[in-house]
Amino acid sequence: MTSSPELSSVHGHEPKIIIDAAYYDRLEKIAYGAQQRFPSVAARLLQEIDRGLIVSSEKMPADVVNIGSEVTYRDDISGNDHTVTLVLPAEANISEGRVSVLTPVGAALIGLSEGASIDWETNAGERRQLTIIRVARVAAVHPVTA
């Protein structure tokens, strides 16, 4: 598999990711549905879920970013830490810290484990790198809800 520059990751390799089987179909539908309006983010999300190890919800490690996870990550370029909750697009509200999986940073976060680092590209085309500091489950989010 080859990666375009916006999809590359730290040190030329992609960190291992794990995807909750309960969300796989939903994430795939979201990404395919966004291909016309948000082609680069949709491509990133599809790439991430397609390369991820799919596990049942019961086997999903607590330290892996999932829908409904509160994530603290470091922007390795600025050195600033950010804490957000990763959500489905309909639940996003950036002023409340709820970041959609259908954003550049949201697509980069999904499936990463604590300590993992990845490169990503902002909507403005700026290259960034982030490292996962902490992952916590804050809410039970059901994959059948929007």
**145 domain residue, yes or no:** no
**144 domain residue, yes or no:** no
**27 domain residue, yes or no:** yes
CA 4/CA 95 separation, integer angstroms: 31
**68 domain residue, yes or no:** yes
CA of residue 6 relative to chain centroid, distance: 14
**102 domain residue, yes or no:** yes
- Burial string for 69-94 (b: 16+ CB within 10 Å, else e) reads bbbebbeeeeeeeeebbbbbeebbee
Domain that holds residue 39: 5-137
**15 domain residue, yes or no:** yes
Q: In whole angstroms, how large is the CA radius of gyration of the chain?
A: 14
φ, ψ of residue 121 to 5 degrees: the values are: -125, 130
| Closest to 106 measured CA to CA, from 134, 76, 73 | 73
Q: Report pLDDT digits (tens) over 102-143.
A: 999 999 999 999 999 999 888 888 899 999 999 998 755 555
Q: Report pLDDT digits (tens) over 13-45.
A: 689 999 999 999 999 999 999 999 999 999 999
Using the predicted structure, report yes or no on whether residue 4 has a pLDDT greater than 80: no
**11 domain residue, yes or no:** yes
**Domains held by the chain: number:** 1
**Angle value at C-alpha 106, between 86 and 16, nearest 5 degrees:** 100
Q: What is the pTM of this model?
A: 0.84
Find the CATH number of the domain harbouring 100: 3.10.50.30
Q: What string of DSSP letters covers 18-49?
A: EEEHHHHHHHHHHHHHTTTTSHHHHHHHHHHH
**143 domain residue, yes or no:** no
**Residue 13 has what pLDDT?**
64
Beta strands 69-75 and 81-87, pairing class: antiparallel
Q: DSSP strand E in the chain: where?
A: 18-20, 53-55, 69-75, 81-87, 98-100, 117-121, 127-137
